[in-house]
């Protein structure tokens, strides 16, 4: 059973996931924070750590007790959903995670907002082994991040154009 994983505690809130111990018969959400690096670079690593801790504390609010959130490293997180059923259900969880992650956070006297790019992989639709499931979720997350960057660039371009 998945509860018998051996986890190393990261930030005393979420486990550092060891991919060697994750069973494959689950759905995976791969999360990467958008805008983390500039916050870490401008406000410092302590502020970055506080932001990661805040996100880590928010993840369990969006999932069931039988699901498992964990930090992979840096600003990447993996959420394992047990028996979620369909991609639409996993998407609902991803939307709820996005909503919670996007809530403002106070860092060094500044209100900071970040979002997350989230990729979803489902067993057995996307893959049947753990490495392939995580890789597929990572690929989907990267596509979501690229779409977010393209949307942001388009909005910036539209804002810089003179009004007609």
Please provide the DSSP assignment of 68-135 as one string.
Answer: EEEEEETTEEEEEESS--SHHHHHHHHHHHHHHHTS-EEETTEEE--EEEEEEE-TTTT-SSHHHHHH
Q: pTM for the whole thing?
A: 0.79
Task: Report yes or no: 39 and 51 within 8 Å, Cβ to Cβ.
Answer: yes
What residue ranges do the domains of the chain occupy?
A: 2-160
Q: What angle do CA 98, 71, 111 make, to 5 degrees?
A: 50
State mean pLDDT over 5-9: 31
Catalytic residue among 32, 41, 67, 75: 75
Q: According to the model, what pLDDT value does residue 147 have?
A: 85
Kind plus residue range of the DSSP H or E element containing 30: strand 27-34
Q: What is the CATH number of domain 2-160?
A: 3.30.70.270
Q: According to the model, what pLDDT value does residue 153 have?
A: 62
Q: How confident is the model at residue 144 (pLDDT cuts 50, 70, 90)?
A: very high
Task: Look at residue 35 and tell me whether its pLDDT is greater than 60.
Answer: yes
State mean pLDDT over 26-37: 92
Task: Look at residue 164 and tell me whether its pLDDT is greater than 70.
Answer: no
Task: Look at residue 51 and tell me whether its pLDDT is greater than 60.
Answer: yes
Helix axis angle for 36-43 and 45-58, nearest 10°, is 140
- Check if 75 is active-site: yes
Q: How confident is the model at residue 19 (pLDDT cuts 50, 70, 90)?
A: very low
* Least confident window among 53-57, 78-82, 87-91, 148-152: 148-152
Q: According to the model, what pLDDT value does residue 3 have?
A: 31
CB atoms inside a 10 Å sphere around CB 107: 17
CB atoms inside a 10 Å sphere around CB 10: 18
Task: Look at residue 149 and tell me whether its pLDDT is greater than 80.
Answer: no
């Amino acid at each position: 059973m998945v509860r018998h994983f051996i986890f190393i505690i990261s930030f005393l809130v979420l486990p550092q996931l060891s991919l060697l111990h994750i069973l494959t018969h689950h759905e995976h959400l791969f999360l990467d924070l958008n805008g983390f690096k500039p916050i870490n670079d401008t406000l410092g690593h302590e502020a970055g750590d506080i932001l990661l801790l805040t996100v880590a504390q928010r993840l369990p609010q969006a999932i069931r007790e039988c699901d498992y959130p964990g930090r992979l490293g840096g600003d990447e997180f993996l959420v394992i959903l047990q028996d979620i059923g369909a991609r639409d259900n996993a998407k609902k969880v991803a939307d709820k995670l996005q909503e919670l992650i996007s809530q403002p956070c106070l860092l060094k006297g500044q209100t900071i907002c970040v979002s997350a790019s989230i990729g979803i992989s489902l067993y057995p639709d996307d893959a049947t082994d753990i490495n392939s499931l995580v890789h597929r979720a990572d690929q989907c997350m990267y596509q979501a991040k690229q779409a977010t960057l393209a949307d942001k660039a388009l909005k910036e371009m539209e804002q810089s154009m003179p009004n007609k």
